[in-house]
Structure formats: C-alpha cells, structure tokens
Homo-oligomer: A and B are copies of this chain.
C-alpha cells in the first residue's frame, strides 16, 4: 500500500454507513474521483479543483487527506500495479502446465484491464507523470510481471507444448496486447471483461502453441 490512507478503494464494496451516496470516507472517495479524472482527462489536465469538486469538497479539503496531487497519483499507480502483479503471480504459481498457467495469467490480466479500465489507464498511461523514486518502485513490479510470463514461455518451449522463438519479445507482446485493452475498452460494448479475457487467452494460446490443434483450452475455462 502506498500510504495506508485509503486502504480499500480498490474494492467496490458499498457504503458502510446509512447515508445514501455518502460514504463518509473522504480519502477513499477522493482516490476514486482522482481515478475517474486522471483516466478521462489525464493527470496533467486534471485539476485538484476537479477532484475535490467531484467529491463535493472545497479545493482545500483535499490537502487534509493527501499532501499533493502527486501523492494521489502515486497511491493509484502503486496499488494498481500491486493488484496486477498479484493476479499474474497467482496465475503462474497455480496448477497445470505452462500453457494452462499462461492462459490463466493472460485471462486474469486482460480481464482486469477491462473490468478496472479506469485504474488501468492511469497505471499504464501516467508512468511518466510519476516522481522518479516512485517510478523506480513501479518499474520493478513491471519487470516481475514480464518475467513471470516469459518464464511460462520458456517452460512451454522446454516441455514441447509451445514453440516460441523469442520468449522475451513474445512475452512483451502478450502483455502489451492485454494492457492496451484499457485504452479502448468501453463497458457499454457488447463484450464483458471476462469474455475479452477468455478471447485473449485463446489468442495467446494460438500465438505460442507448438501444435495448433491443441491451442484451445484444456478444460481450464472454469
């Protein structure tokens, strides 16, 4: 957690008190408002007035909860990267062959970028806006994600179920494909986040499979 000041903003749980439309947790609501604003208009185009006003607070009230606009971005980026990394690491340490694990990782990573596309947009498109010290921390997590996927490709080559001439480049391509979902995904579209995750797992399997007849799932679609 970046600051500990807004523990559970990643969860979409309901309000904890009785007031409708008002949770009482201003920190969490400020983060949620910042995610919306940063995702829609970009970090630099978003003003602290924007964020505070969305929550129904004065501009000054923001600074009671966060020391700066930068701190809000850092919170969102770090927590978001932690969530994405966690998804991938759970998938690649789960049961099954390298192909099964790769499919699970792509399925979960992709669905997250669709389901949480606003957070994902901030995570993926505002790296350059992060302060250098936080950017380094986040880049480490990104390397772990790429390494986890690349390891499945190497394992799949070794077992013979995959045929990937350049695992590093293909790992980057697979993750890039998933990441870009956050750029174009619209929840009003015809496909659910889970459906896109499944489609992308299929595409990934076809991209790496040694014998294309087996690119389909292995009974692991739930």
Binds B, one of A48-56, A57-65, A130-138, A169-177: A169-177
Chain A, range 166-189, C-beta contacts under 8 Å to B: 166, 169-170, 172-173, 176-177, 179-181, 183-184
Do B45 and A129 touch across chains, with their CB atoms under 8 A apart? Answer: yes
Instruction: Report if A41 contacts B (CB, 8 A).
Output: yes
For residue A124, which residues in chain B have a CB less than 8 angstroms away from its CB?
Answer: 183
Do B180 and A176 touch across chains, with their CB atoms under 8 A apart? Answer: yes
Nearest CB on B from A107, distance (A): 14
Oligomeric state, in copies: 2
Do B200 and A40 touch across chains, with their CB atoms under 8 A apart? Answer: no
Do B183 and A176 touch across chains, with their CB atoms under 8 A apart? Answer: yes
For residue A180, which residues in chain B have a CB less than 8 angstroms away from its CB?
Answer: 176-177, 179-180, 183
Do A169 and B199 touch across chains, with their CB atoms under 8 A apart? Answer: yes
Do A184 and B172 touch across chains, with their CB atoms under 8 A apart? Answer: yes
Q: How far apart sit A169 and B191, CA to CA, in the bound complex (Å)?
A: 9
Instruction: Report if A72 contacts B (CB, 8 A).
Output: no
Residue count of chain A within 8 Å CB distance of chain B: 34
Q: How far apart sit A11 and B51, CA to CA, in the bound complex (Å)?
A: 42
For residue A69, which residues in chain B have a CB less than 8 angstroms away from its CB?
Answer: none
Do B42 and A166 touch across chains, with their CB atoms under 8 A apart? Answer: no
For residue A41, which residues in chain B have a CB less than 8 angstroms away from its CB?
Answer: 44, 128
Do A170 and B212 touch across chains, with their CB atoms under 8 A apart? Answer: no
Binds B, one of A79-87, A149-157, A201-209: A201-209
Q: How far apart sit A170 and B206, CA to CA, in the bound complex (Å)?
A: 12
Do B184 and A176 touch across chains, with their CB atoms under 8 A apart? Answer: yes
For residue A179, which residues in chain B have a CB less than 8 angstroms away from its CB?
Answer: 180, 183
Q: How far apart sit A196 and B170, CA to CA, in the bound complex (Å)?
A: 10
Do B129 and A170 touch across chains, with their CB atoms under 8 A apart? Answer: no
Q: Which of B44, B166, B173, B215 contacts A44 (CB 8 A)?
A: B44
Given A42-B44, A125-B125, A212-B213; 12 other pairs, CB 8 A cutoff: A44-B44, A125-B183, A166-B199, A169-B199, A172-B184, A173-B203, A176-B180, A177-B180, A180-B183, A206-B212, A207-B207, A209-B212
